[in-house]
């Protein structure tokens, strides 16, 4: 089940909200936990037990760490190893087998395992919890239901944000439910739904048309690159908005995951604005424990490379993800070694052009299936492998999708948000009247698209 489905919007969510608010407060976590299991088992009936076993393992290790303090480190290592073994087995086993077959020219059968949805996200949540317990940053959770609710909470189970236990530790037992908080959650959810259905899914259709086209031009390659970059952003940020909105409906305050990354003036700034919960997770649980930048230059550069190779691997068991991570790791090193000073002196449009070009290239690498396809799509931007700059077909698609591309480009910047905030400051009464009307229209339009459209799962479900 996904958020952008009629089943979720008009059956699952209303029923869960109704049950949640009519039961006594002490039973609300139970409702959330059961609802999350139902939500997960509908999508992954076979692998729901894997998540439950992982939660139980993390819970018991936390209890043992608290009870047998002399052996805290052993329990920490054990908990992390067990969590990572589940992740490695399901996500990386076939990749490792393929690599061994290539190196040693042997043929081992692939397991062809289905990746449990959300395993990368809930594994990182459990690791952050057990590490924070070890470092005495949070108290051990002795109530299994509370910990299970934290890990399995359906609003951010499938694709984040990666909510740390410390962020919602108090809210697990004491949440404030207000009308303004709930209404803000509804608004945020509808905005995220519109991002997904009206922009990301439409751009996905454009990308599909590009992939099926037999006579691609330079223009069409650039349309594809821009559409891919925008589609990934609106798909993932749309999910994050919906997750944050759902959290507010149930009294939780989840962290932001995106902050208009496409206005960045450096790759360093870009990664402070893109998938922020993943970036801070790697910073706090990998980069800093390795020594961060408090070591010699060689080790510091090594730490950056390790983090970015792992970041690439986290996204998927394929070489294009590893190369994608390496690309950004190397660029970040170059920036920190001096390029940032040059970028600071450049006019804003030049530094932003540099970031967007790298981003286009990065997402072509990220989205590619196989080396040949990646090289073809990269070369096509510069006329390599194609005989023409433009043809009728590429112009047709440009005109057909021009409106959604323009809307997506504008919406990827703070322009609309700033206009809204200024209008709310100057004419608050008008905005208070128009806001629910506009949101209702957006919901109706999204529903119409969902009734007539095809199923488009969230991109990050595969990670």
pLDDT digits over 48-68, tens only? 899 999 999 999 999 999 999
Residue 266 to residue 358: CA distance in whole angstroms: 10
Contact predicate 103/34, CB 8 Å: no
Residues constituting the chain: 463
Task: Indicate whether this model's pTM tops 0.85.
Answer: yes
Cα–Cα dist 445/441, whole Å = 6
Flag whether pLDDT at 135 surpasses 70. yes
Per-residue pLDDT, 455: 52
The candidate with the shortest Cα–Cα distance to 32, out of 156, 218, 132, 193, is 156
Q: CA–CA separation, 227 vs 405, rounded Å?
A: 7
Which whole-number Å values give the CA distances from 33 to 7, 67, 83, 247, 366, in the listed order? 19, 26, 20, 14, 34
pLDDT at 99: 85
Tell the residue number behind the tokens 């990301």, with chain if given. 200
**Which residues have a Cβ under 8 Å from the Cβ of 172 and sit 6 or more positions away?**
29, 141, 146, 149, 150
The residue written with tokens 């073809």 in the block is 376
Q: What gap in Å lies between CA 113 and CA 276, rounded to an integer?
A: 29
Predicted local confidence at residue 291, as pLDDT: 94
Residue 196's contacts (CB-CB under 8 Å, 6 or more residues apart) are: 3, 4, 234, 235, 238, 239, 242, 458
Percent of the chain clearing pLDDT 70 (strictly above):
97
CA–CA dist 345, 320 (Å, integer): 33
Residue-wise pLDDT for 280-320, tens only, equals: 999 999 999 999 989 999 999 999 999 999 999 999 888 89
The token pair that represents 404 in the structure block: 């959604």
Of the candidates 61, 71, 275, 315, the residue annotated as catalytic is: 315
Residue 201 CB burial class (10 angstroms; 0-12, 13-18, ≥19): buried
Find out whether 364 and 228 touch, Cβ atoms under 8 Å: yes
CA dist 204 and 4 (Å) reads 15
pLDDT surpassing 80 at residue 456: no
- As a whole number of angstroms, the distance between CA 34 and CA 297 comes to 50
Residue 104 CB neighbours (<10 A): 9
3-state secondary structure 161-188: CCCCHHHHCCCCCCCCCCHHHHHHHHHH
Residue 94 token pair: 């076939």
Average pLDDT over residues 454-461: 55
CA–CA distance, 212 with 220 (Å, rounded to integer): 12
Residue 40 has pLDDT above 70, yes or no: yes
pLDDT the model gives residue 114: 84
In this predicted structure, what is the pLDDT of residue 346?
A: 93
pLDDT of residue 347: 94
CA atoms within 13 A on the CB side of 450: 20
Closest CA to 154 of 271, 307, 29: 29
Q: How confident is the model at residue 453, as a pLDDT?
A: 67
Angle at 21 between CA 24 and CA 56, to 5 degrees: 70
**12's tokens:** 């699952």
Angle at 450 between CA 449 and CA 456, to 5 degrees: 110
Q: Given this model, what pLDDT does residue 457 score?
A: 58
On the question of pLDDT at 162 being above 80, the answer is: yes
* Summary mean pLDDT of the chain: 92
- Please tell me the distance from the alpha carbon of residue 124 to that of residue 277, in angstroms, as a whole number: 11
183/359 Cα distance (integer angstroms): 35
Between helix 415-426 and helix 392-411 the angle, nearest 10°, is: 40
Pair of tokens at residue 186 = 């509804």
Is 315 annotated in the active site? yes
Q: What are the angstrom distances between the C-alpha of 286 and each of 156, 179, 303, 312, 384?
A: 22, 40, 8, 14, 40
pLDDT in tens, 338-378: 999 999 999 999 999 999 999 999 999 999 888 888 999 99
Cα 381 from Cα 221, distance rounded (Å)? 6
Name the helix (H) or strand (E) containing 442: helix 428-452
């Amino acid at each position: 089940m996904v958020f952008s489905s009629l089943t979720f919007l008009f059956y699952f969510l209303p029923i869960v909200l109704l049950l949640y608010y009519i039961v006594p407060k002490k039973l609300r976590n139970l409702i959330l936990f059961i609802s999350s299991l139902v939500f997960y088992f509908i999508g992954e009936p076979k692998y729901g037990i894997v998540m439950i076993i992982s939660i139980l393992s993390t819970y018991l290790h936390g209890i043992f760490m608290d009870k047998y303090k002399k052996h805290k480190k052993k329990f920490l290592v054990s908990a992390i190893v067990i969590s990572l073994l589940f992740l490695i087995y399901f996500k990386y086993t076939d990749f490792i087998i393929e690599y061994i077959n290539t190196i040693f020219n042997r043929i081992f059968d692939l397991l062809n395992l289905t990746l449990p949805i959300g395993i990368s996200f809930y594994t990182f949540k459990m690791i952050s919890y057990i590490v924070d317990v070890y470092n005495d940053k949070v108290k051990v959770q002795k109530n299994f239901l509370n910990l299970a609710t934290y890990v399995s909470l359906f609003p951010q189970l499938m694709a984040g944000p990666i909510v740390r236990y410390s962020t919602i530790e108090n809210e697990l037992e004491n949440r404030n439910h207000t009308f303004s908080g709930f209404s803000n959650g509804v608004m945020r959810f509808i905005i995220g739904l519109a991002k997904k259905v009206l922009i990301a899914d439409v751009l996905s259709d454009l990308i599909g048309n590009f992939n099926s086209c037999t006579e691609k031009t330079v223009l069409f390659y650039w349309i594809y690159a821009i559409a891919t970059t925008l589609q990934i952003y609106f798909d993932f940020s749309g999910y994050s908005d919906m997750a944050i909105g759902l959290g507010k409906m149930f009294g939780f305050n989840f962290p932001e995951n995106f902050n208009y990354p496409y206005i960045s003036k450096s790759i360093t700034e870009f990664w402070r604005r893109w998938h922020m919960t993943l970036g801070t997770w790697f910073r706090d649980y990998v980069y800093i424990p390795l020594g961060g930048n408090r070591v010699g230059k060689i080790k510091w550069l090594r730490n950056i490379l390790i983090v970015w190779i792992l970041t690439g691997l986290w996204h998927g068991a394929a070489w294009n993800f590893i190369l994608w991570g390496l690309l950004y790791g190397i660029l970040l090193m170059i920036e920190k070694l001096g390029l940032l000073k040059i970028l600071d002196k450049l006019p804003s449009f030049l530094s932003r052009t540099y970031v967007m070009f790298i981003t286009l290239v990065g997402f072509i690498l990220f989205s590619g299936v196989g080396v040949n396809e990646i090289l073809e799509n990269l070369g096509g931007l510069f006329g390599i492998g194609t005989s023409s700059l433009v043809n009728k077909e590429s112009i047709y698609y440009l005109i057909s999708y021009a409106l959604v591309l323009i809307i997506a480009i504008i919406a990827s910047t703070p322009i609309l948000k700033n206009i809204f905030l200024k209008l709310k400051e100057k004419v608050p009464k008008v905005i208070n009247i128009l806001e629910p009307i506009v949101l209702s229209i957006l919901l109706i339009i999204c529903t119409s698209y969902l009734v007539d459209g095809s199923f488009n799962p969230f991109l990050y479900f595969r990670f």
